[in-house]
Amino acid sequence: MEINITSRETIKPSQPTSAECKTLKLSLIDGFQLNTYFPLILYYSKTTSLQGFSDVSTQLKKSLSEALTIFYPLAGRRRDYVSIDCNDEGAIFMEASVNTTMELFLKPPNLELLNQLLPCEPDKCHPHEEVLPQLLVQVNKFQCGGIAIGLCNLHILLDAYSYSAFLKTWFAICRGSKGEISWPDFSSAASAFPQRDITGIRGCTFNLIEENCSTRRFLFDHKAINELKSMSTSDETKPTRYQAVSSFVCKHMIVAIKEQCCDKTRPNVACHTVDMRRRMGQPFSKGVVGNLLWPALVVLEGVNKNTEIIDLVEILKEGFGKLTKDLFLKLQNDPGFLWSDEYAELMLEGIATKRPISLVFTSWANMGFNEVDFGCGKPCWLSYRGGTKETTSNTAILLETREGFEAWIRMSEKNMNILEDDVDFLRFALLNPSVLI
């Protein structure tokens, strides 16, 4: 397969940003994020003939320009560590042609080629002082008329929830449904959690390791999810779909890692990204743009192939239970919280001497990515990234699709090979099945 870039241009907002909005202050939590792009690819089957592709692309560019007027920081550039210069420099918009049909490309998806559908290298950690576009788009046309829209969003401003709101706005404008626009609130996050000098805050034992990682896609269909939930349920424990699936994935990732680890007594620390909006409530439940995320860190010791999933679910639920509205109000109102014993305990400061192995779990379920329609229907599939690059290892992204959950797992090649041969894991996880469009 060949993917050829046919055009590249800069899309600026349809109207200039007003003088009073020229500088956007980032929140304290935005400042904790890596200067990296997180990727998303949306697939639309048989959207148009090849002759009509220019009309679709023109409409996408026109509506993007209007959406950037509403989400104006996405057309800006980072000024310094604490702010974005909303200077209307614009977003990067690229077009590409793919010399095959979408049906062939997805039977099964060639994960090694996915990154070619993206406008830049995803997940690469850039220095914070490097000035980068906030948003890049690549619209890929297949020979059958299908379109894959590859998106890379800089993480310093938008989390997945905020990004979904932007996409819903852009695509609502594109299909002429301006009544469905999601109006953003850019001020509440920075007002509630203003930037401050964090020199000397209590240390976190959570260490992200970058190495050459392979990405694999595993599908947990609805039957598998229900069975995992049943295995994790008791009178006291009622897991969500995410808790059941992520605990199962976590167990088998740890088993694969431990098989290659010289010191099998090292504990594991699992980091689950939690959306603060749902726990804080108003005014953060809707419309607030920013990285309103917080890590739930849990210690997992003695995990092996005989560990029961329900035990991991209970540990995870206990970790989630510590992230209360009262905790976030302390972060908001107590200037000394980041230096407190309570914060150090949440960050598992005391386990540092045991040299824990870290894992990261993130869910993009219930974000609405599989609902975004720019005028030709909902996407038939959505995907993360592929390829083997130096990036953060031992991570799992859970995406929601029509068939259930997909776990996109990144690990070193040697550990991934063990996971792929894990018979107990493959009883529930289908390795990269074909996508029906």
Contact 165, 70 (CB under 8 A): no
CA distances from 121 to 118, 128, 150, 315, 391 (A): 7, 17, 11, 35, 11
Q: What is the pLDDT of residue 200?
A: 79
Q: What angle do CA 362, 79, 72 make, to 5 degrees?
A: 70
Q: What is the pLDDT of residue 51?
A: 57
Same fold, 3-192 and 210-431: yes
> Hey, is 431 helix, strand or coil?
strand
State the catalytic residue, choosing from 185, 311, 373, 422.
373
Give the DSSP H or E segment for 219. Answer: strand 210-221
Q: What is the pLDDT of residue 50?
A: 53
Catalytic-residue membership of 341: no
Q: Give the position of tokens 């309570």.
A: 342
* 110 burial via Cβ count (<10 Å: 0-12, 13-18, 19+): middle
- Say how far apart CA 269 and CA 207 lie, in whole Å: 9
Count the residues in the chain: 437
Nearest CA among 12, 428, 44 for reference residue 245 = 428
Residue 129: other Cβ atoms inside 10 A: 9
Q: Give the position of tokens 């697939």.
A: 43
Give the DSSP H or E segment for 410. Answer: strand 404-412
CATH of region 210-431, choose from 3.30.980.10, 1.10.10.10, 3.90.1150.10, 3.30.559.10: 3.30.559.10
pTM of the model: 0.94
Catalytic-residue membership of 80: no
Domain 3-192 superfamily per CATH? Chloramphenicol acetyltransferase-like domain (3.30.559.10)
pLDDT per residue, tens digit, the chain (437 aa), is: 899 999 999 999 999 999 999 999 999 999 888 888 989 999 998 776 555 788 889 999 999 999 999 999 999 999 888 999 999 999 999 999 999 999 999 999 989 899 999 999 888 888 888 889 999 999 999 999 999 999 999 999 999 999 999 999 999 999 999 888 888 999 999 999 999 888 878 766 566 666 788 899 999 999 999 999 999 999 889 999 999 999 999 999 999 999 877 677 888 999 999 999 988 887 777 789 999 999 999 999 899 999 999 999 999 999 999 999 999 999 999 989 999 999 999 988 888 778 888 999 999 998 999 999 998 889 999 999 887 666 778 999 999 999 999 999 999 999 999 999 999 999 999 999 999 88
Q: Provide DSSP, 44-91.
A: ETT-S-GGGHHHHHHHHHHHHHHHHHHSGGGGSEEEETTEEE-----E
State the catalytic residue, choosing from 30, 123, 155, 221.
155
Beta bridge partners of residue 169, listed in sequence order:
none
Q: What is the pLDDT of residue 432?
A: 97
Nearest CA among 315, 341, 313, 342 for reference residue 326 = 342
Spans of all domains in the chain: 3-192, 210-431
Contact 70, 169 (CB under 8 A): yes
Residue 269 tokens read as: 């620390």
Q: What is the pLDDT of residue 1?
A: 81
